[in-house]
Amino acid sequence: MSKTAVKPIAEQPTVRPLHSPAQLHFRTLRLDTPFQPRIDTLMKTNDWYDWGGYRAPASLWDEELEYFAIRSQAALFDISPMTKYRIEGPDAETFLNRLTLRDVTRLKSGRVHYTAWCDDAGHVLDDGTLFRLAETRFRLCCQERHLPWLLDSAIGFDVTVSEETEAVAALALQGPTSFAILREAGFEGVERLKVFDLADFPHGDGSVTISRTGFTGDLGYELFMPVELALSLWDRLMEAGQSRGIRAIGYTALNRARLEAGLIVANADFVTAEHAIRADRVRMPDEIGLGFMVDLEKGYFNGRRAIVEARAKGRLQHVLVGLEIEGNIPAEHAIVYHRKRKEVGLVSAAIWSPMAKRNIALASLVRPYGDTISDDLWVEIYAMRELKYERLMKRAKVVARPFVKLDRRTASPPPEF
Amino acid sequence: MMSFDAPKWDVLVIGGGHNGLVAAATLAKSGRKVLVLEAAGEVGGAARTEEFAPGFRVSTAHLLNRLHPEVVKTLELERHGLVFSGITSTPAPSPQGGGESGVGSVHRETSTALAEAAPTSPSPLSGGARGVGIRFAPSVALSRDGEPLTLHGGYGESLSGASASEQAAWQELRAQLLRYAGILKPLLARRPPDLGNMSLMESSAFAVTGLSLRRLGKEDMRDFLRMLLMNVSDVADEHLEDDRLKGLLAFDATLGSHLGPRSPTSLLGLYFRLAGEIGGQAGAQALPVGGMGAVMASVLRAAQAAGVTIRTDASVAKILVEKDRAAGVALDGGEEIRARTIVSAINPQNTFLDLVGTREIDTGFVRRIKNIRMKGDAAKLHLALDRPLEFSGLEAAGHRGRLVIAPSSDHVERAFNPAKYGEFSPEPVMEITLPSLSDPTLAPDGACVLSAVVQYAPYALKEGWEAGRKRFLAAIMAQLELYAPGVGRLVRHAELLTPADLEARYRMPGGHWHHGELQADQMLMSRPAFGAAGYDTPVAGLFLCGAGSHPGGGVSGVPGLNAARRILEMRG
Q: How far is the alpha carbon of A235 from chain B, nearest alpha carbon, in Å?
A: 43
- Output the 3-class SS for A208-262: EEEECCCCCCCCEEEEEEEHHHHHHHHHHHHHHHHHHCEEECCHHHHHHHHHHCC
Could you give the number of structural domains in chain B?
2
What confidence score (pLDDT) does residue B99 get?
Answer: 36
What confidence score (pLDDT) does residue B7 get?
Answer: 55
Separation between Cα atoms, residue A381 and residue A392, nearest integer Å: 5
The residue among B184, B431, B422 whose CA lies nearest residue B287 is: B431
- Does any CB of chain A come closer than 8 Å to the CB of residue B323? no
Phi, psi of B339 (to 5 degrees): -160, 165
- Does any CB of chain A come closer than 8 Å to the CB of residue B359? yes
Is residue A192 within 8 A of residue A203, CB to CB? The reply is no
Round the CA-based radius of gyration of chain A to a whole number and report it: 24
Classify B301 as helix, strand or coil: helix
Is residue B262 within 8 A of residue B413, CB to CB? The reply is yes
Q: Is residue B206 part of a domain?
A: yes
Separation between Cα atoms, residue A220 and residue A237, nearest integer Å: 13
The chain B residue lying nearest A302, using CA atoms, is B362
Model pTM score: 0.90
Same domain, B123 and B189: no
Separation between Cα atoms, residue B496 and residue B83, nearest integer Å: 32
The residue among A160, A259, A252 whose CA lies nearest residue A218 is: A259
In order along its 572 residues, chain B shows pLDDT tens digits of 445 555 599 999 999 999 999 999 999 999 999 999 999 999 999 999 999 999 999 999 988 899 999 999 999 998 998 865 334 443 333 333 333 333 333 333 333 333 333 333 333 332 333 344 456 889 999 999 889 999 998 999 999 999 999 999 999 999 999 999 999 998 888 888 877 776 777 777 777 777 777 788 888 999 999 999 999 999 999 999 999 999 999 999 999 999 999 999 999 999 999 999 988 889 999 877 767 878 899 999 999 999 999 999 999 999 999 988 999 999 999 999 999 999 999 999 999 999 999 999 999 999 999 999 999 999 999 999 999 999 999 999 899 999 999 999 999 999 999 999 999 999 999 999 999 998 889 999 999 999 999 999 999 999 999 999 999 999 999 999 999 999 999 999 999 999 999 999 999 999 999 999 999 999 999 999 999 999 999 999 999 999 999 999 999 999 999 999 999 999 98
Chain A residues within 8 A of B321 when measuring between CB atoms: 300
Asked whether the beta carbons of residue A299 and residue B353 sit closer than 8 angstroms, the reply is: no
Residue range(s) defining the domain that contains residue B299: 9-48+66-82+101-132+286-372+516-569
Same domain, B325 and B360: yes
Asked whether the beta carbons of residue A156 and residue B366 sit closer than 8 angstroms, the reply is: yes
Asked whether the beta carbons of residue B324 and residue A305 sit closer than 8 angstroms, the reply is: yes
Comparing CB atoms, the residue among B321, B324, B370 nearest residue A155 is B370
Q: Is residue B483 part of a domain?
A: no
Last residue of a domain, which of B282, B300, B333?
B282
Q: Is residue B277 part of a domain?
A: yes
Same domain, B20 and B126: yes
Same domain, B122 and B15: yes
Instruction: Count other C-beta atoms under 10 Å from residue A267's C-beta.
Output: 12
ipTM for the whole complex: 0.91
Chain A residues within 8 A of B363 when measuring between CB atoms: 99, 119-120, 149, 152-153, 302
Which helix (H) or strand (E) segment holds residue A321: the answer is strand A318-325
DSSP tag of A31? B
The residue among A353, A294, A293, A344 whose CA lies nearest residue A321 is: A344
Domains annotated on chain A, with CATH: 25-82+167-260 (3.30.1360.120), 83-163 (3.30.70.1400), 285-399 (2.40.30.110)
Q: Is residue B87 part of a domain?
A: no
Separation between Cα atoms, residue A140 and residue A147, nearest integer Å: 11
Best mutation target among B362, B365, B372 (most A Cβ atoms within 10 Å) is B362
Same domain, B290 and B278: no
Q: Is residue B467 part of a domain?
A: no
Chain B residues within 8 A of A120 when measuring between CB atoms: 362-365, 531
In order along its 417 residues, chain A shows pLDDT tens digits of 444 556 666 666 666 667 777 777 777 889 999 999 999 999 999 999 999 999 999 999 999 999 999 999 999 999 999 999 999 999 999 999 999 999 999 999 999 999 999 999 999 999 999 999 999 999 999 999 999 999 999 999 999 999 999 999 999 999 999 999 999 999 999 999 999 999 999 999 999 999 999 999 999 999 999 999 999 999 999 999 999 999 999 999 999 999 999 999 999 999 999 999 999 999 999 999 999 999 999 999 999 999 999 999 999 999 999 999 999 999 999 999 999 999 999 999 999 999 999 999 999 999 999 999 999 999 999 988 999 999 999 999 999 999 999 999 999 999 999
DSSP tag of A301? -
Asked whether the beta carbons of residue B324 and residue A99 sit closer than 8 angstroms, the reply is: no
Classify B365 as helix, strand or coil: helix
The residue among A298, A293, A116, A286 whose CA lies nearest residue B323 is: A298
The chain B residue lying nearest A298, using CA atoms, is B323
Residues in chain A: 417
**What angle, rounded to 10 degrees, do the helices at B267-274 and B232-239 form?**
80
Asked whether the beta carbons of residue A304 and residue B324 sit closer than 8 angstroms, the reply is: yes
Q: Is residue B524 part of a domain?
A: yes
Asked whether the beta carbons of residue A305 and residue B362 sit closer than 8 angstroms, the reply is: yes
Q: Is residue B502 part of a domain?
A: no
Same domain, B297 and B273: no
- Does any CB of chain A come closer than 8 Å to the CB of residue B485? no
Is residue A193 within 8 A of residue A261, CB to CB? The reply is no
Same domain, B124 and B232: no
Asked whether the beta carbons of residue B358 and residue A299 sit closer than 8 angstroms, the reply is: no
Best mutation target among A94, A98, A101 (most B Cβ atoms within 10 Å) is A98
Separation between Cα atoms, residue B229 and residue B263, nearest integer Å: 10
- Does any CB of chain A come closer than 8 Å to the CB of residue B318? no
Chain B residues within 8 A of A296 when measuring between CB atoms: none
Same domain, B338 and B275: no
Asked whether the beta carbons of residue B363 and residue A153 sit closer than 8 angstroms, the reply is: yes
Chain B residues within 8 A of A303 when measuring between CB atoms: 362
What confidence score (pLDDT) does residue B280 get?
Answer: 84
Which helix (H) or strand (E) segment holds residue A307: the answer is helix A304-312
